Amino acid sequence: EPRAALGHYDKAEDHYTCWTTSQNPHVARLVMSAFYNVAPENKLRVIAPDVGGGFGSKIYIYPEEIVCLWASKKTGVPVKWVADRTESFLADAHGRDHVSTVEMAFDKDNRITGLKV
C-alpha cells in the first residue's frame, strides 16, 4: 500500500498535526519537531491510523510528510499527499538503491549451514 500524509497547521493554537502511514509515529514526531524547532514537542501531533502493509518501508520519515506540514502552514489549509504505485516503487525505502552482499555455506548434501548478509 502506498504511503500518504496529511499535514495541518492550526495558526490559532500554533499546533501541527500530521496524519501519516507511519509504523513509527513517536520517532516521526521527535524528528519532525526537531526539524521544525517545535517546542514543546507536544505542539506537533502525529496520527498513524491503520497503516496496512508496510513491511519496513513505513518506519522512515520521508520528505513528503515534512512538506505537507510546511505547505499547510504557508497556505493556511490542510495539505494531503498520496503516492501512486509507481512513485512508491521508485521512492520508498525498498525502491532506493540498496546493495547487499550475501554469502552462503552448504554442507556436502547441499543443506544451508551458514548465511552472512
> For residues 36 and 103, which has the higher predicted lDDT (pLDDT)?
103
CA dist 51 to 13, 22, 30, 115, 117, Å? 28, 7, 19, 32, 29
Predicted structure pTM score: 0.75
Annotated domain spans of the chain: 4-91
Residues 9, 76: Cα–Cα separation, whole Å: 7
| Helix 63-75 × helix 25-35 angle, to 10° | 50
The mean pLDDT of 16-39, rounded to a whole number, is 92
At 109, give phi and psi (nearest 5°).
Answer: -100, 15
Query: What is the pLDDT, as a whole number, of residue 96?
Result: 56
CATH number attached to the domain at 4-91: 3.30.365.10
Q: Which band of pLDDT confidence, cut at 50, 70 and 90, is reported for residue 36? A: confident
Query: What is the pLDDT, as a whole number, of residue 79?
Result: 98
Say if CB 32 and CB 66 are below 8 A apart: yes
Q: Encode pLDDT of 59-112 as tens digits.
A: 889 999 999 999 999 999 999 999 998 888 888 887 556 677 999 999 999 999
The mean pLDDT of 35-42, rounded to a whole number, is 89
Q: Encode pLDDT of 44-55 as tens digits.
A: 999 999 887 777
Lowest mean pLDDT among 14-23, 32-41, 90-99: 90-99
Cell of 40: 514543546
